[in-house]
Structure 1
Amino acid sequence: MKNYDVVIIGAGAAGLMCALTAGQRGRNVMILDHADHVGKKILISGGGSCNFTNLYLEAEHYISHNPHFCKSALNRFCQYDFISLVKKHNVSYQQRQLGQLFCNGNSVEILNLLLHECRLSGVKIQKSCTINNIEKNNSFSVKTNSENYTTQSLVIATGGLSMPTIGATGFGYDVAKKFGLNVQPGQPGLVPLTFNNNDLKSFGDLSGISLDAAVSSNGQLFREAILFTHRGLSGPAVLQISNYWQPGDEVAINLLPDIDLTETIKQWQKERPRMELKNLIGELLTRRIAKRWLELWYHNKPVNQYNEKEINQIADLFHVWRFRPAGTEGYKVAEVTRGGVDTEELSSKTFEARRVKGLYFIGEVVDVTGWLGGYNLQWAWSSGYCAGQFV
């Protein structure tokens, strides 16, 4: 039986940040992880370039049953604090659209800086470690396939259910329930939406087409790219809206957010009257989209043959395309998990369970879900750092 001041289960972004922070305070820290390699989700973040934070980060970019819970941690360890760590390790980075920060190299640079800081702080990491049982008497007892550990501070940083192919499980939720904590129901987040059977027949062959659009649902709107897939819609704007979409909800998409199509058609009637409408709209979108929309809902003809009522109706088809997704692509491709350990059960200052002294939950396992664009990694850094100050 080995004793450590702090045992952290999960060697992802939140777990590593918590470990290095606690280690810097002189705490004796052990991280346990079931995988044979640590930080797998960090490595695939941002397409392998690691979108490690966002310059425009605000609390309103997060979803939780308690929208105020995240504010304390995000203020105490903000995006600029992590940027300072990146600069300390001479990691070259760039700003892309919407304040997203990426490595100029690849994600392993972020993982390496975390592991380097852990080594400097004396943090130990045990990989390929299966947790067989956790009990609490005066301290926590953690039994694994290779060793048994005792600790006064047990941190659960095991993430959510998204991306099971890289080892994601519901372990953290099970631990919370074992100790009597409430867990908000989970759903896939930042995930592609799927078409129902009728829409699949209408749009399934458009797979591969990408375009700039404004996507809205439940009072939220995102303006970025959408991508037609063989099963539905993906792309940044769709992934963003999936965090707010609920089964049965409608999604509205403006395929021409920068153009007033009504006025544009009237202009075409003056300047290019004999051109067919599908070809003209095809210049703004793609010919396949323009042709399909008119095939489904309107007859295509020379632009000078449409009256004002028809022009308004056609404009609505492209500015407000409404559909009801059949569902999502599920956890296998979802970037995050919505829901998790109820924030009412945790201290927003320390991340300790209010009813179980010494038990902490950080990162994605908590009911805090960020937007696409570096927000979820920043939540991992912030929650890990804050818990690391108290474990």
Structure 2
Amino acid sequence: MTAAQRYDAIVLGAGAAGLMCAAVAGQRGLRVLLLDHAARVAEKIRISGGGRCNFTNRLLDARAPQQHYVGTNPRFARSALARYTPQDFIVLVERHGIAWHEKHKGQLFCDGSAQAIIDLLLAECARGRVEHLQPCQIRKVSFDAAHGSYLLDTERGPAEAPSLVVATGGLSIPKIGATDLGHRLARQFGLPVTALRPGLVPLTFDAQQWASYAQLAGVSLPVRIACGEKKQRMAFDEDLLFTHRGLSGPAVLQISSYWHAGQALHIDLAPGVDLAQELLQAKAQSKKHIANLLAQWLPARLADAWCAQEPAWQRPVNEASDKALLQLAAQLADWRITPSGTEGWRKAEVTLGGVDVQALQQQDMQARGQPGLYFIGEVVDVTGWLGGYNFQWAWASALACAQALPKTV
């Protein structure tokens, strides 16, 4: 049998977190091997942000990560996020000459292609003399307790290192190579994995329930969307998109990370507008049909479809009863509808759940009770909002780990 090549650290997964960790560790002088089973590097970066990569968010407050992160204990992310901030990654982006711009709510994007971020990370890996093998299937991972070393059986031959970094991501978007390898490795070494479900994902509805709304596919509008009760209530002000099967757009992607099966959504279709007052005032001075009047605040197709649901709304506003107008205003201000499910892993941008943070050390992402084993990025039970927060967690958790890896070779 061929003797195993020995490294200081082996990093599994050449996505955002894996590339960042390998690059930083390599530049510290460690001998690093980076492995990935997929044919193409960092496909999730390539398709993110509409192909422009929403690489971080200026509004992130590392002192209170629970504001923008979900998980059993999102405060776990505080240490790593405080030590590597959005501004730190901006400095790296600008050092590589990548032009960028800010969209609403602190979201930062490349002016050009997301490929620029991939090239940045590959260049940083090259600078650290990282050995990168891809595609490379991993057949088996074991731990030699006597020598404190991880042994990997791969299709490119055996490799070993005292440090193994798992940056394999989650289950979202399987067509670009997502697998459960990281979760299997966690369980193999005795680490708990919290419940996994699709996050930042469109929501779907029963076909019969959605029949009257399917015709609105393509309609988009700003809304306030909420779910949950009392202390568990969460709300977002974002754009909503109607689809043939349900609802999507930033508003729904955001709320999907907080929504649970059986919960109703509460959607204000005209946030900031007192529709009751507007309709009653219009009744005294207008002969417009109600749907035409609503088109001042709603897309015309939505106004027409909504009014078609009730005969009392299919008439000029001056002929409608106050009761009918108030009922219409109340429904539009609090549209209550219960999704039947989600579009699943194929459309989910992230994985909710993952390696339980209680089993990891906050400072360096190392597994408690299993020396030399680290988990970073999406495989961990830390999930960010839409808008660059997940990439910042990838960069920050990778750096926290990379700076702690020991040099042994």
- TM > 0.5: yes
Q: What displacement does 1:298 show?
A: 5.1
Structure 1 residue aligned with 2:112, among 101, 105, 109? 105
Q: d(CA) in 2 for partners of 1:239 and 1:256?
A: 19
> Which letter maps to 1:309?
K
Aligned to 2:99: 92
2:138 aligned with 1:131 = yes
Aligned to 1:211: 221
Structure 2 residue aligned with 1:261, among 258, 267, 275? 275
For residues 209-288 of structure 1, the aligned pairs below 5 Å read: 209-218=219-228, 219-272=233-286, 274-288=287-301
Residues 81-128 of structure 1: CA deviation (Å, up to 9, x unaligned): 101101111110000011100000110111111111111111110001
**SS at the partner of 1:68?**
helix
**SS at the partner of 1:226?**
strand
> Which letter maps to 2:250?
P
- CA RMSD, aligned part only? 1.0
Aligned to 1:291: 304
**SS at the partner of 1:140?**
strand
Aligned to 2:397: 383
2:165 aligned with 1:155 = yes
Q: What displacement does 1:205 show?
A: 1.5
For residues 1-391 of structure 1, the aligned pairs below 5 Å read: 1-58=4-61, 59=65, 60-137=67-144, 138=147, 139-218=149-228, 219-272=233-286, 274-297=287-310, 299=312, 300-391=314-405
Q: d(CA) in 2 for partners of 1:329 and 1:50?
A: 22
Q: What displacement does 1:192 show?
A: 0.1
Structure 1 segments of 4 or more deviating over 6 A? none
Q: d(CA) in 2 for partners of 1:36 and 1:323?
A: 42
| Aligned partners of 2:222 and 2:237 also within 8 Å | yes
> Which letter maps to 1:90?
G
Residues 168-222 of structure 1: CA deviation (Å, up to 9, x unaligned): 0111000000111100010000000001233221211211111111111121111
| Aligned partners of 1:293 and 1:317 also within 8 Å | no
> Which letter maps to 1:64?
G
Q: d(CA) in 1 for partners of 2:220 and 2:271?
A: 14
Q: In the superposition, relative to structure 1, how do residues 380 and 307 fare at CA in structure 2: closer, same or farther (>3 Å)?
A: same
| Aligned partners of 2:207 and 2:245 also within 8 Å | no
| Aligned partners of 1:34 and 1:129 also within 8 Å | yes
Q: d(CA) in 2 for partners of 1:271 and 1:76?
A: 61
| Aligned partners of 2:192 and 2:355 also within 8 Å | yes
> Which letter maps to 1:321?
W
Q: What displacement does 1:268 show?
A: 1.2
Q: d(CA) in 1 for partners of 2:250 and 2:74?
A: 23
Q: d(CA) in 2 for partners of 1:312 and 1:268?
A: 13
> Which letter maps to 2:340?
A
Q: d(CA) in 2 for partners of 1:101 and 1:168?
A: 25
Gaps of 5+ in 1: none
| Aligned partners of 1:298 and 1:314 also within 8 Å | no
**SS at the partner of 1:283?**
coil
Gaps of 5+ in 2: none
Residues 121-168 of structure 1: CA deviation (Å, up to 9, x unaligned): 111100010000001012100110111001000000000000000000
> Which letter maps to 1:310?
A
Q: d(CA) in 1 for partners of 2:79 and 2:331?
A: 44
Q: d(CA) in 2 for partners of 1:343 and 1:377?
A: 18
Q: d(CA) in 2 for partners of 1:45 and 1:301?
A: 46
Q: What displacement does 1:259 show?
A: 1.1
Q: In the superposition, relative to structure 1, how do residues 298 and 356 fare at CA in structure 2: closer, same or farther (>3 Å)?
A: farther
Q: TM-score, normalising length from structure 2?
A: 0.94
> Which letter maps to 2:73?
N
**SS at the partner of 2:324?**
helix
Residues 303-351 of structure 1: CA deviation (Å, up to 9, x unaligned): 1123333322110111111100000000001000000000000001010
Q: What displacement does 1:288 show?
A: 2.1
> Which letter maps to 2:356?
D
Q: d(CA) in 2 for partners of 1:262 and 1:36?
A: 57
Q: What displacement does 1:278 show?
A: 1.1
Of residues 233-242 and 36-45 in structure 1, the stretch that sits farther from structure 2 once superposed is: 36-45
Q: d(CA) in 2 for partners of 1:306 and 1:2?
A: 81
Q: d(CA) in 1 for partners of 2:117 and 2:88?
A: 14
